Structure 1
Amino acid sequence: MERLSNPSHPALEKSRGWINGFIGVLIFSGSLPATRLAVLEFDPVFLTVLRAAIAGAVAVALLWLLRERRPAPDQWLSLFIVAMGVVLGFPLLTALALQHVTSAHSIVFVGLLPLATAIFAVLRGGERPRPVFWMFSLLGSALVVGFALAQGVSAQPTGDLLMLAAILACGLGYAEGAKLSRTLGGWQVICWALVLALPPMALSSLWLAPASFGQISISAWVCLAYVSLFSMLIGFVFWYRGLAQGGIAAVGQLQLLQPFFGLALAATLLHESVSTGMLAVTLGVILCVAGAKKFAR
């Protein structure tokens, strides 16, 4: 499959990057409602390792069927960082954190993810956004965090530390994977990362599996399929390609919209209410993303 190359029209390539990134965020946004439904019948930690194992098995099949070449020796360390960040680290740490904090509290930290991604884009990707970009990035993060705090959250040191670790792991995994996608290809990066994580994820799934699955409903299995195939694999195909095309720091700001897309899906699927304040904050976040896009370089 075609890798990313130097585009003839950089502006067009960046636009495609924002489109791919937006599709990735939409796919990731469905993870929250799907996970909420799935954990009603699956243990959270078991769900985390099982979805990674399923995605890893699919990744092995894709790489074998398409006869993809193995990564170069100097690419394996980056793939290991991606696997530890987005395949194992973020899903597991957030699952553990949500045993101590509410979903509303977790939004405080999810609002910091675009900023973390931008910082790692500088440290690992060599990007240098303009100063005004950081202003919009900080303002967007502040809007999301402020919205979460306004919902009324309580301090839980254990959950807070786990969420902070999750955000750092995810931001590093996003930036590292996007940098590697420029030479290895977006879908290849996530597939090889899933392959690296497959052995411990598969063994953990067998170890943590319940004695019987007879009480698991069809809707829970559908949700498991979504978080396994879309959240762990298909979403990353668009996301990593978008980051590589449009810039890690810039396109990463689209993550500011993810909590609100997730809440909108939850309102549709789970019949949860969406307030006027939520819509107002969403509009402010959209303006911040647009500003970050304009001043990213």
Structure 2
Amino acid sequence: MTVQNSATPSLTISVRSGTLLAALGVVSFSFSLPATAWALVGFGPWTATGVRGLLAGLVAAACLLAARVPVPGRQHWPGLLTVAAGCAVGFPLLSTLALQTSTTAHSAVVIGMLPLATAAVSTVLTGRRPSRLFWAAAGLGALTVAAFTLQQSHGLPTLGDGYLFAAVLVCAAGYAQGGRLASHMPGWQVIAWGVVVALPVSALVTVFALPVEPVHPTDRAVVGMAYIAAVSQFGGFVMWYRGMAAIGVPKASQLQLAQPLLTLVWSVLLMGEQPSPLAPVAALIVLGCIAATQRARG
């Protein structure tokens, strides 16, 4: 995930602490796909999406109330709605649906396109004109992921691939808008308001899905659900945004380059998967493309 944020005066932590927080944010996000797969052991995809959003929204609402955060101005609500739709509803649902047919290792490579997609959406929002190096690297990254998915599916993209590509697009829009909003309010408040705005949708999905989808709350499923609700959808963002505020976007983005590879490692250690030999190769090429786009944007 690549997001842009501006340092806020209230965040006066050291560079070392900021680097640690940003790194912890990256590590926390790298567990999201395996944790979602664990949650699917005991919950259906719609139930998992609804419950994680509901729990995250309640935690975020409690934090906003405890901090006595005022309601954002009217001019911020279109962006917050995009954050809610992309980060709190769209990406969780689409990535969860994809994991019903795709492995976490395969999904990690496709989701590795998210920083590139976010950068592209951000250029549209800001009206900047990136260099040819930016677009060349972004194009190579996109072609690499497309070739990998087609090779894995024997020439035709699967339904899971469709869900993943859609997840990347909606989440990129949410991250780009979140990065823009973070220049006007603390980053943690952006994601907090995003999941709070999505609470009605999360509650409705939960109410309608629970009676329909079977629920088997095993220990692994409960742990996975708790993780994606408390960390993937809220807590990880708090560490990530605060770390970015301390060390700046470029340095934090370099730390995030490790996320797809970390997820590949967790897919082996936690899920017992055997990724395709091409998975780490594709992930490394995509990471190189992301690094090139970051340099081009800088």
TM-score bucket (shorter structure): 0.7 to 0.9
2:3 alignment partner in structure 1: none
1:227-248 C-alpha deviation (Å, 9 max, x unpaired)? 001110122224455677416x
Shift of 1:73: 1.6
1:68 alignment partner in structure 2: 69
Q: How does 1:180-259 map to 2 (within 5 A)?
A: 180-210=181-211, 215-240=216-241, 245-246=248-249, 257-259=258-260
* Aligned length in residues: 287
2:88 alignment partner in structure 1: 87
Alpha-carbon contact 1:174-1:240 (below 8 Å) kept: no
1:53 alignment partner in structure 2: 54
**Runs of 5+ unmatched residues, structure 1:** 7-11
Distance 1:201 1:18 in 2: 33
**Aligned in 2, Cα 1:203/1:131: closer, same or farther, shift over 3 Å?**
same
Distance 1:83 1:106 in 2: 22
Distance 1:293 1:176 in 2: 18
Residue 180 (structure 2) pairs with residue 179 (structure 1): yes
Farther off after superposition, 62-71 or 103-112: 103-112
Distance 1:16 1:125 in 2: 30
Shift of 1:16: 9.3
Shift of 1:218: 1.5
Shift of 1:171: 0.8
**Aligned in 2, Cα 1:142/1:27: closer, same or farther, shift over 3 Å?**
farther
SS in 2 for 1:184: coil
1:56-110 C-alpha deviation (Å, 9 max, x unpaired)? 00001101111112211211111111101111112223334555x5347656753
1:13-70 C-alpha deviation (Å, 9 max, x unpaired)? 8x99987665433322211111112112110111001101000000011011111122
1:266 alignment partner in structure 2: 267
Farther off after superposition, 196-205 or 132-141: 132-141
1:27 alignment partner in structure 2: 28
SS in 1 for 2:46: helix
Distance 1:135 1:293 in 2: 12
1:102 alignment partner in structure 2: 102
SS in 1 for 2:274: coil
Q: How does 1:286-297 map to 2 (within 5 A)?
A: 286-297=287-298
Residue identity over aligned pairs, in percent, reads 38
Residue 15 (structure 2) pairs with residue 4 (structure 1): no
**Aligned in 2, Cα 1:131/1:124: closer, same or farther, shift over 3 Å?**
same
Alpha-carbon contact 2:41-2:220 (below 8 Å) kept: no
**Aligned in 2, Cα 1:22/1:292: closer, same or farther, shift over 3 Å?**
farther
**Aligned in 2, Cα 1:242/1:151: closer, same or farther, shift over 3 Å?**
farther
1:153-195 C-alpha deviation (Å, 9 max, x unpaired)? 5636765554443222111001000110111111000001111
1:201-242 C-alpha deviation (Å, 9 max, x unpaired)? 123213322599984212211110110011101222244556
Distance 1:279 1:156 in 2: 19
Distance 1:236 1:282 in 2: 23
Alpha-carbon contact 1:17-1:246 (below 8 Å) kept: no
Q: Give the residue type in structure 2 aligned to 1:55.
A: A
Q: Give the residue type in structure 1 aligned to 2:7.
A: L
1:9 alignment partner in structure 2: none
2:148 alignment partner in structure 1: 147
Distance 1:238 1:275 in 2: 32
Distance 1:190 1:263 in 2: 26
SS in 2 for 1:155: coil
Higher RCO by CA contacts (8 Å cutoff, separation 6 or greater): 2
Alpha-carbon contact 2:49-2:93 (below 8 Å) kept: yes
Q: Give the residue type in structure 2 aligned to 1:234.
A: G
Distance 1:215 1:115 in 2: 37
Farther off after superposition, 169-178 or 143-152: 143-152
Distance 2:152 2:62 in 1: 44
Shift of 1:281: 4.0
